[in-house]
Amino acid sequence: MSRSSLEDKIKGGIYGVAIGDALGGTTEFMSVREIKARYGYLTEIIGGGAWRLEPGEVTDDTMMTLCVAEGILAKPDDPLNAIGEQFMNWYQTRPKDIGNIIRHTFENVEDSWFEAAYVTHIEMGQSAGNGSLMRCLPVALAYKEWKDIERVSHMQSKMTHYDDRCNEACILYNRIAFRLFQGEELKEVIQQELIGTEYENMLTSEPNCEASGFVVYTLRWVLHILLQASNFSEVVQRAANLGDDSDTIGAIAGGLAGIYYGYEEIPAKYAEAILIRERLDEIAVRLLGVRDGGHKCI
Ligand SMILES: [Mg+2]
């Protein structure tokens, strides 16, 4: 793959997350019926919603994605603690929209992220949220080798989410991303990767679950949208019009769509709306540098 198309895919992935997040942030927690009554079918990044967003403002999904990216950029060979530092720096900005499982783990972390995540799992009675899936894409942007992507996807998930369904979802998701970087076709890759997994029935049926923050339900909707849609805009718009956890579903689906279609195919009205686009541009260039350097994990 040429360097320019590699850069187009990396930038597309990062912007895809941010655009899905910013567009879906308007409708988060709303029902489909409420969205229809208020917006008809939402297609523009207008802000507002439960978080009273500025148009183009992103939420925790994008900010935590940038934490994972920055952690890998700081120490690509062994990013665990660097990612953890980024998480805590972000937490100190007192984000309004942090997920419950993640907040609980951040409050408990002392020596070990993995122990803190386990304590959260026990104390909250579950940890199968979508919070590690929503931020894991930079792993597949930064590393070339599948074994590094697999290992870091798993590790970054276990830092906050003890439940195996979370790391399994991250690995499946980044496996699809990895194959998109090999130049493969999005729907074909999804069709192949879902066989034999608990998501296999998304190949033939609609999700009959809510679009909630439960990682399995989130990923069902993400896969369904990616299988149905035929361009980038359709992906992020469908996610936004689901309501419920629409910003996270939009971010996750938008990330893969952004890699596949590439930054050049993302409508300028979406890319230019993102308030932190300079930061996204800069991170994309640095991720390309790590990838060029062929960093591996020890
Ligand atoms: Mg969010």
Kindly state whether residue 297 falls inside one of the protein's structural domains: no
Kindly state whether residue 34 falls inside one of the protein's structural domains: yes
Taking the centre of ligand 1 as the mean of its atom positions, its distance from the CA of residue 20, in whole angstroms, is 10
Kindly state whether residue 244 falls inside one of the protein's structural domains: yes
Task: Find the mean pLDDT for residues 260-267.
Answer: 98
Residues 281-292 pLDDT 10s: 999 999 999 998
Residues 112-148 pLDDT 10s: 999 999 999 999 999 999 999 999 999 999 999 999 9
Residue 246: give the domain boundaries.
3-292
Task: Please state the pTM of the whole predicted model.
Answer: 0.97
Q: What is the DSSP letter of 266?
A: S
- What residue numbers does the annotated binding site cover? 59-61, 245, 247-248
CATH at 138: 1.10.4080.10
Q: Does 104 score more than 90 pLDDT?
A: yes
Which residues neighbour ligand 1 (ion) by CB within 5 Å? 59-61, 247
Taking the centre of ligand 1 as the mean of its atom positions, its distance from the CA of residue 138, in whole angstroms, is 17
- Under 8 Å between Cβ of 69 and 291: no
Kindly state whether residue 154 falls inside one of the protein's structural domains: yes
% helix, strand, coil for the chain, step of 5: 65, 0, 35
Taking the centre of ligand 1 as the mean of its atom positions, its distance from the CA of residue 171, in whole angstroms, is 21
Q: Let me know if 278 is exposed, middle or buried by CB neighbors in 10 A (0-12, 13-18, 19+).
A: exposed
- Residue 296's pLDDT band (boundaries 50, 70, 90)? low
Taking the centre of ligand 1 as the mean of its atom positions, its distance from the CA of residue 228, in whole angstroms, is 23
Residues 53-70 pLDDT 10s: 999 999 999 999 999 999
**Which two structure tokens, joined as six digits, stand for 60?**
């925790």
Number of domains in the chain: 1
C-alpha closest to that of 276 among 15, 11, 71: 15
Q: What percent of the chain shows pLDDT beyond 70?
A: 99
Q: Does 237 score more than 80 pLDDT?
A: yes
Distance CA 83, CA 139 (A): 11
Taking the centre of ligand 1 as the mean of its atom positions, its distance from the CA of residue 22, in whole angstroms, is 9
